[in-house]
A and B are shown apart, each in its own frame.
Chain A
Amino acid sequence: MRRFLARRLAHGAAVIFIAASLSFLLVHLAPGDPFSSTLDSAAISPSVKAAWRAAYGLDRPLLEQYLRFLGQLARGDLGPSLLQPGPASAALAGAVPNTLVLMGTALILSFVIGIGVGSWQAARAGSGGDRVAGNASLVVASLPEFWLGAVLLLVFALRFRVFPAGGVVDLVMHDSLSPAGRVLDRLRHLALPSLTLALLGSASIARYQRAALLDVLPQDFIRTARAKGVSDRLVLWRHALRNALVPTIVLLGLSLPTLLGGAVFVEQVFSWPGLGRLAAAAFHARDYQVVIGATIMGAVLVVAGGILADLLHAAVDPRVRAQ
């Protein structure tokens, strides 16, 4: 297991290195630079802009910049942000926790909802309820994130006013609330964005889970369990589910990139100050270091998702653990 982890980590490091290099290349090759998009170019003379570029080292050959970037990266340093004071990592440090909270909540919610619905369907496969749920999940899975977000916004923020429409906390009241009130405030703000992501994720998880359970239910050991006198509910939730979770758990790792992609839209709709918003703004402004940093964070999440999936896979399947 330890060797396996070491191999996975090495592989992950390689993925992250490649992602960092690719994003370095892409963002530097994209038209414009930090000083052309945001500072209306024409009003400022080229010589001034050249002075700025020189001040940030952007006048050096790309290869030299790349090597310097790699040198910094090796020391765990992204370099300075080109558009705000301080290192790019500080900008990321502000955004990453918000995204992690959003994605983590959405991930847990989507698996709870998805596995619950999928199992419920499998237990009554072919029934009317199964068909209704199946069609519903098919529809939900194909909705665009921002559209679903906008609908939840209209229903739960505008029509019924149960949840706020944007931000992480109440901008004025949060600091004056009791500790419990602050937690509640955060949860209320988390509700709609995480639900948007979770609904989308849970739709495909439900379909996956249903299929996995239907694969497991006819197997011999299920019959054994029933012959032992175990109740139908326990047979489903204990014996069948644990086995059917194996393929679903693999999905968990695979769903992280999708989830991250969805978070970019959801953060936009709900004014959620996370990695997605930061990356979009940074790319728009060509804040190279922050864009690269955000890409690396994305790659880290994806790699971590893969490792997490493997660990979970091992946790639910002893045959994997043995290897």
Chain B
Amino acid sequence: MTQPALLTVSDLRTYFYTGAGVARAVDGVSFTIGTGETLGIVGESGCGKSVTALSILRLVQQPGRIEPGSRIMFENQDLLQLDGAGIRRVRGNRIAMIFQEPMTALNPVFTVGDQIAEVARVHASASRRAAWDRAVEMLTMVGIPAPAERANQYPHQLSGGMRQRVLIAMALIMNPALVIADEPTTALDVTIQAQILELLADLQQRLGTSIAMITHDLGVIAEVASRVLVMYGGEVVEEARVETLFTEPHHPYTEGLLHAMPRVGRRQERLAVIPGSVPPPTAWPTGCRFRDRCAYAWDRCAREHPPLYQIGVGHVSRCHLADEPERRTARATAQVSPAAQAAVPGGGA
């Protein structure tokens, strides 16, 4: 870590108290983001990425609760200790969020200009006029043509890519220290996706903003992030610099992800996936949570919950293989366990 830490999340636990039991959606997550840095957070659906992001701004709703003992240090204060007004001063101002669904993340009954300007009016107590001008400026900055007219339009009059730009404009209007982008491109088609990522990277360069880029797409990570957090079952299972992760992944889950990743130039008949499914967050297995899907799993994995092992500089992994590396070579030939192979739909080439 070259940059000084802007955000330090330590031992974040966010549980949902549902009728079906306590869902430990985020279960002891710690990480930091440096100033100007882009941190990628990847993981399969349901692994707790969004809940982590929402927890930072304390936007988790009933029946979710951030457990005592969690700490989120940002600009020298623990966000979890702020009062209502205090956290509102951070939201949209020092830390902004860009959500996954541009179709539904905008309020259908207000013009986009109004919705962008609202941020400035809330945080800078800007006049209606000034806030509006600022909103149009932001629309220009995110590359929307004819911004003055667009500002007067309603979300339903804009295309998906356009709306995502609006959301970005909304996030950046206060020049926040950190932008959390929760799968900002998932809903967009590939060319638009690339444009948006480019825009984000470009803006980050100009404004020096830190970004937490949440995605389940390693391709996106490869493009924008400098450091990556891999999450599984509500936990961080591996953390590394992006080059390290792609070249020397340690955790079997990361390996699986990389394997499943579509590669340019490699013709793919079918999307390789990690067989099996994530256990429900109300009943994490004892020991390693990836155990049921892991090709290397042995008895220790069932017994002992793996800690984060230090693999290298800035590289940690939650896998007992770090302790007993010989087990990996023993099964190096088998990428996928026979049992799991049978579970792959349409198994066999």
A contacts, CB < 8 Å to B: 218-221, 223-232, 239, 242-243, 246, 316-319, 322
Which residue of the partner chain A has the closest CB to B102?
Answer: A220
Residue B106 at the A interface, CB < 8 A?
Answer: yes
**Chain B residue, CB-CB nearest to A231:** B88
A229 engages B90 (CB within 8 Å): yes
Please report B residues at the A interface, Cβ cutoff 8 Å.
54, 57, 59, 61, 84, 88-93, 96-97, 99, 101, 104-111, 118-119, 122-123, 154, 156-157, 167, 170
What are 14 of the A-B contact pairs (CB < 8 Å)?
A: A218-B61, A220-B99, A221-B108, A224-B106, A228-B122, A229-B90, A229-B91, A229-B123, A230-B118, A239-B107, A239-B110, A243-B109, A317-B109, A318-B156
Q: Which 10 A-B pairs have the closest CB atoms?
A: A228-B92, A229-B91, A229-B92, A220-B104, A318-B154, A221-B107, A227-B97, A229-B88, A220-B105, A224-B105
CB distance from B145 to the nearest CB of A (A): 20
Q: Could you say which residues of chain A place their CB within 8 Å of the CB of B91? A: 226-229
Residues of the B chain whose Cβ atoms lie less than 8 Å from the Cβ of A229: 88-93, 119, 122-123
A-B contacts besides A242-B107, A246-B109, 10 pairs, CB < 8 Å: A218-B61, A221-B105, A221-B108, A226-B91, A227-B99, A228-B119, A229-B91, A230-B92, A317-B108, A318-B156
Residues of B within 8 A of A316 (CB): 109
Q: Knowing A221-B106, A227-B57 touch, does A319 contact B154 (C-beta < 8 A)?
A: yes
B156/A319 in contact, CB under 8 A: yes
Are B59 and A223 neighbours in the complex by a CB distance under 8 Å? yes
A317 neighbours in B (Cβ, 8 Å) = 108-109
The answer on a CB contact under 8 Å between B170 and A243 is: no
Q: Is the CB of B108 within 8 A of A319?
A: yes
Residues of B contacting A227 in the complex (Cβ-Cβ under 8 angstroms): 57, 59, 91-92, 96-97, 99
Would you give the shortest CB distance from B192 to chain A, in whole angstroms?
A: 19
| B118–A223 CB distance below 8 A | no
Q: How far is the CA of A229 from the CA of B84 in the complex (A)?
A: 10
On whether the beta carbons of B118 and A228 are closer than 8 Å, the reply is: yes
Tell me whether A243 and B92 are in contact (CB under 8 A): no
Residues of B within 8 Å of A231, CB to CB, are 88, 122
Give the most central of A225, A317, A319, A322: most B CB within 10 Å. A225
- Chain B residues, Cβ within 8 Å of A243: 107-109
A227 to B57, CA, bound (A): 7
Q: Which residue of A is nearest B157, CB measured?
A: A322
Cα(A242)–Cα(B107), bound, Å: 10
Of all chain B residues, which has the CB nearest A242? Answer: B109
Q: What chain A residues lie within 8 Å of B96 (beta carbons)? A: 227-228
Complex Cα spacing A239 to B108, Å:
9
Residues of B within 8 A of A230 (CB): 88, 92, 118, 122
User: How many angstroms between the C-alpha atoms of A225 and B122 in the bound complex?
Assistant: 11
CB of A224 within 8 A of CB of B119, answer no
Which residues of chain A are near B119, meaning CB under 8 Å? 228-229
Q: Are B99 and A223 closer than 8 Å at their CB atoms?
A: yes
Q: How far is the CB of B288 from chain A (nearest CB, A)?
A: 33
Residues in chain B near residue A239, CB distance under 8 A:
107, 110
Chain A residues with CB below 8 A from B154, complex form = 318-319, 322
- Nearest B residue to A125 via CB reads B62
Which residues on the A side are within 8 Å of B108 (C-beta)? 221, 243, 317-319
Complexed CA–CA distance, A220 and B107 (Å): 8
Are B156 and A322 within 8 A (Cβ)? Answer: yes
Which B-chain residue is minimally distant from A218 (CB atoms)? B61
Q: Provide the bound-state CA to CA distance between A45 and B90, in Å.
A: 91
Q: Which residue of B lies closest to A239 (CB)?
A: B107
A248 to B85, CA, bound (A): 32
Q: How far is the CB of B171 from chain A (nearest CB, A)?
A: 9
B123 touches A224 (CB 8 A): no
B254 to chain A, nearest CB (A): 30
Q: Shortest distance in angstroms between A318's beta carbon and chain B's nearest beta carbon?
A: 4
Contact between A221 and B157 (Cβ–Cβ < 8 Å)? Answer: no
In the assembled complex, the CB of B32 is this many whole angstroms from the nearest CB of chain A, namely 22
